[in-house]
Chains A and B, each alone.
Chain A
């Protein structure tokens, strides 16, 4: 093998070295510049959930000279994370709801509890349901998910009133809760789990666990059946070992049954009136039929042309600016987030990186180096918690990737009692980060 390097290569190399050194030197210097260039700039955030509240609040924390409006759609927010807990009476429904009042009072954010109906990327303005318009310099969308109605034959918005998805918290959570309460002992609670990618990857399995816990105490002859489009799922080993300990999983009396996609678990049709889920070779009669349908980015993202053929929004991960439309940033479940999952914590972390980038861009500064964290707890029973955690950054190839050697799921012999307690504290603190 030749080890010679010719002059041309050397010069090329030295050039690259200079460029790298330049970046390393200039970034911290830029980050400290304060020139007030953004005074009066207008940012409109659409979506008042895990991503939107954080984007709005952190922009105001980093640069109070920027004018921030938060379009929430609702007067209060209802959290999807922890809604499984409410489903099985661990907390009242109100535990999920939060007011935007402090975001207005403490951070000077203009909160508009209306729906945004249209975005004009060229004219840089947003039309609200009332017909009022909001001009912006930069818009940030955290619109959450939409459902692919009809992807499962027979499952549309009307069917969801009979067979709730409860994958957006609110009336759907209440409906599924009522149906679980009304289910007779000996009934079948069927969860139809969606294909990847979807909101909250461990969510369907946490729901199965907590419903099994409820049934064990209240309706022990009943059963939870997960009909899955997939062959594997998030935190699977930990769920399975917990189910074995708690719910007799894989025994004749198991409270939980999981049917993998390759074992005919994929539901292709439902009859919402009769609560029947149809797979390729079989029909399953449910007493409660919880259909979590295939998903895509929230409606406004699609209507604004921010989605690609996957149905999700491609973004530049350093700024979360859309790759489809300039001056519009997208965070949270609606995005294609590299290695990050579609979780509440990821949305929180993405929104902070996005907020910092928007502040830098509006001030004419170079955008700083990002980093993200995801920490996500699931309960298998009220005193049995598991978690997945990871640190992310832009890797040497420019991709948003997990840091090698870091993160992962709870150890097999982990402290599940402590993790259950931390899960509840996680919720108190993340909603404080959003709303206080």
Chain B
């Protein structure tokens, strides 16, 4: 019985620890704000760096996931995409898509 409880506790603690690390997931807006420094005001680029305001949520999320898995070659984006969970990537993609008029 004690042993069973312990095993159950381990599971709980693992899942809790997972949540603690990502305790509050940053909002899509907070995540998206960090992109603007390179990709421009609201994701509208003035130079060679691509704009990211004109993608559908699916396109942007797929691009980020492909950078993350190294399926898509890049310069800095592979390194940056690896910093986010799939859930966060979806949240920032949704935010940029919501800016589209």
Nearest opposing residue in chain A for B83, CB measure: A391
Q: Is B48 touching A425 in the complex (CB atoms < 8 A)?
A: yes
A419 on the interface (CB 8 Å rule)?
yes
Q: Is A369 touching B38 in the complex (CB atoms < 8 A)?
A: no
Stretch of A241-249, A309-317, A371-379 with 4 or more beta carbons under 8 angstroms from chain B: A371-379
User: B78: shortest Cβ distance to chain A, in Å?
Assistant: 9
List A residues 15-30 near B (Cβ within 8 Å): 16-17, 20-21, 23-24, 27-28
Stretch of A116-124, A154-162, A267-275, A399-407 with 4 or more beta carbons under 8 angstroms from chain B: A399-407
Nearest opposing residue in chain A for B41, CB measure: A432
CB-CB under 8 A from A422, the residues of chain B are 38, 48-49, 75-76
CB-CB under 8 A from A370, the residues of chain B are 26, 30
A424 on the interface (CB 8 Å rule)?
yes
Bound complex: CA A426 to CA B80 (Å): 15
CB-CB under 8 A from A406, the residues of chain B are 79-84
Write out, one digit per residue, whether chain B residues 9-49 have a CB within 8 A of any chain A CB (1) or not (0).
10011001101110111110011011111111100011111
> Which of B16, B37, B46, B75 interacts with A418 by CB under 8 Å?
B75
User: Given A5-B6, A17-B16, A24-B19, is A349 in contact with B80 using a C-beta cutoff of 8 Å?
Assistant: no
Write out, one digit per residue, whether chain A residues 409-436 have a CB within 8 A of any chain B CB (1) or not (0).
0100011001101101110111011001
CB-CB under 8 A from A372, the residues of chain B are 34
> Which of A356, A390, A433 interacts with B36 by CB under 8 Å?
A433
Question: Could you tell me the dominant secondary structure of chain B's interface residues?
Answer: helix
Q: Is A396 touching B17 in the complex (CB atoms < 8 A)?
A: yes
User: B60: shortest Cβ distance to chain A, in Å?
Assistant: 16
Write out, one digit per residue, whether chain A residues 383-397 have a CB within 8 A of any chain B CB (1) or not (0).
000010111110110
CB-CB under 8 A from B6, the residues of chain A are 3-5
CB-CB under 8 A from A424, the residues of chain B are 47-48
Q: Is A369 touching B24 in the complex (CB atoms < 8 A)?
A: yes
Nearest opposing residue in chain A for B51, CB measure: A429
> Which of A24, A28, A373, A436 interacts with B34 by CB under 8 Å?
A373
User: Given A23-B24, A425-B46, is A433 in contact with B17 using a C-beta cutoff of 8 Å?
Assistant: no
CB-CB under 8 A from A28, the residues of chain B are 24-25, 27
Nearest opposing residue in chain B for A27, CB measure: B24
Question: Which of A21, A414, A415, A425 neighbours the largest number of chain B CB atoms within 10 Å of its CB?
Answer: A425
A95 on the interface (CB 8 Å rule)?
no
B3 on the interface (CB 8 Å rule)?
yes
Q: Is B80 touching A391 in the complex (CB atoms < 8 A)?
A: yes
Bound complex: CA A129 to CA B84 (Å): 45
A348 on the interface (CB 8 Å rule)?
yes
Bound complex: CA A20 to CA B80 (Å): 28
List B residues 75-99 near A (Cβ within 8 Å): 75-76, 79-84
A90 on the interface (CB 8 Å rule)?
no
Nearest opposing residue in chain A for B39, CB measure: A429
> Which of A13, A21, A391, A433 interacts with B41 by CB under 8 Å?
A433
User: Given A4-B2, A428-B47, is A20 in contact with B20 using a C-beta cutoff of 8 Å?
Assistant: yes
User: Given A396-B20, A425-B47, is A391 in contact with B84 using a C-beta cutoff of 8 Å?
Assistant: yes
Bound complex: CA A28 to CA B38 (Å): 27
CB-CB under 8 A from B16, the residues of chain A are 16-17, 20
User: Given A13-B13, A369-B30, is A387 in contact with B76 using a C-beta cutoff of 8 Å?
Assistant: yes
Nearest opposing residue in chain A for B46, CB measure: A428
User: B100: shortest Cβ distance to chain A, in Å?
Assistant: 17
User: A376: shortest Cβ distance to chain B, in Å?
Assistant: 10
Bound complex: CA A37 to CA B31 (Å): 25
CB-CB under 8 A from B5, the residues of chain A are 5, 10
User: Given A372-B34, A422-B75, is A433 in contact with B40 using a C-beta cutoff of 8 Å?
Assistant: yes
Bound complex: CA A430 to CA B6 (Å): 52
CB-CB under 8 A from A391, the residues of chain B are 34, 80, 82-84
Write out, one digit per residue, whether chain A residues 339-377 have a CB within 8 A of any chain B CB (1) or not (0).
000000100110011001000000000001111110100
Q: Across chains A and B, which 5 residue pairs bring their CB atoms closest together, nearest first? A: A391-B83, A425-B47, A369-B24, A406-B83, A429-B40
Q: A3-B3, A21-B19 are in contact. List 16 more A-B contacts (CB 8 A).
A: A5-B6, A24-B19, A27-B23, A345-B38, A369-B25, A372-B34, A396-B20, A403-B83, A410-B75, A415-B75, A422-B76, A424-B48, A429-B45, A429-B49, A432-B41, A433-B40
Q: Which residues of B contact A (CB under 8 A)?
A: 2-3, 5-6, 9, 12-13, 16-17, 19-21, 23-27, 30-31, 33-41, 45-49, 75-76, 79-84
> What are some 20 contacts across the A-B interface (CB < 8 A)?
A4-B2, A10-B5, A10-B9, A27-B23, A349-B37, A352-B30, A369-B23, A369-B25, A369-B27, A375-B76, A387-B76, A403-B83, A406-B81, A407-B83, A408-B79, A419-B76, A425-B45, A429-B41, A429-B49, A432-B46
